[in-house]
Amino acid sequence: MADAVFLALSVITIGSAIAALELRSLIYGSIALMGTLGGIAGFFLLLDSPFVAMFQLAVYVGSIAVLILFTVMLVKRELIFKKIEDKRRKFVGIALMLVFMVALGSVIMNSGIKTITTDEPAVDFRDIGADFLTYYWPALILMALILTGSVTGALILARREDVENEQRTD
């Protein structure tokens, strides 16, 4: 059962990733990108970590894909994208991808992943939270500062100076 689900998820993820690159229509491309991101969420579910899977869905499909879709819809495609199509570029790209995949795969295979016992119970997300607050607290503080900075920056960027004060009735 799990093997069949894994195979189906792999096909969905890789297939929609290829579709996201290759489709002519930008909208369908971004839908395919959503399929890829959702497939990765499915892998996390398969790995018994629903916490990460739900965040993957909420953040990547729910926010980032929406932003991409939004940008794609408000932009005229012909103005930014020039057709640079080249057989050689394509093959070089595929070769580069293969090299990267082989290198990453050999690194992962040599990293001791084979000795992991797989029948252990899933890690509770409360333990992840406790780890964040004790051992990894500098990373948490750093992330919090970065996020606060970006939210504040976004709020400042969203302020409009050209709107007259009389127009603001609230």
Tell me the window of 12-20, 52-60, 80-88, 108-116 that interacts with another protein (CB under 8 A). Answer: 52-60
30-49 positions binding another protein, by CB under 8 A: 31, 34
Distances from the Cα of 120 to the Cα of 4, 116, 170, angstroms: 21, 9, 57
Among 50-58, 78-86, 107-115, 136-144, the segment contacting another protein (CB under 8 A): 50-58
Spell out the alpha helix ranges (H) of 56-165.
Answer: 65-73, 77-80, 87-109, 125-134, 137-158
- Tell me, by CB under 8 A, how many residues bind another protein: 26
Q: How far lies 105's CA from each of 15, 110, 112, 134, in Å?
A: 20, 9, 12, 32
Minimal distance, residue 147 CB to another protein, in Å? 12
Residues within window 150-169 making contact with another protein, judged by CB under 8 A:
155, 158, 163, 168-169
Other C-beta atoms lying within 10 Å of the C-beta of residue 34: 21
Q: Hey, which residues between 74 and 93 contact another protein (CB under 8 A)?
A: 74
Q: Which residues within the stretch 108-137 sit at the binding site for another protein (CB under 8 A)? A: 125-126
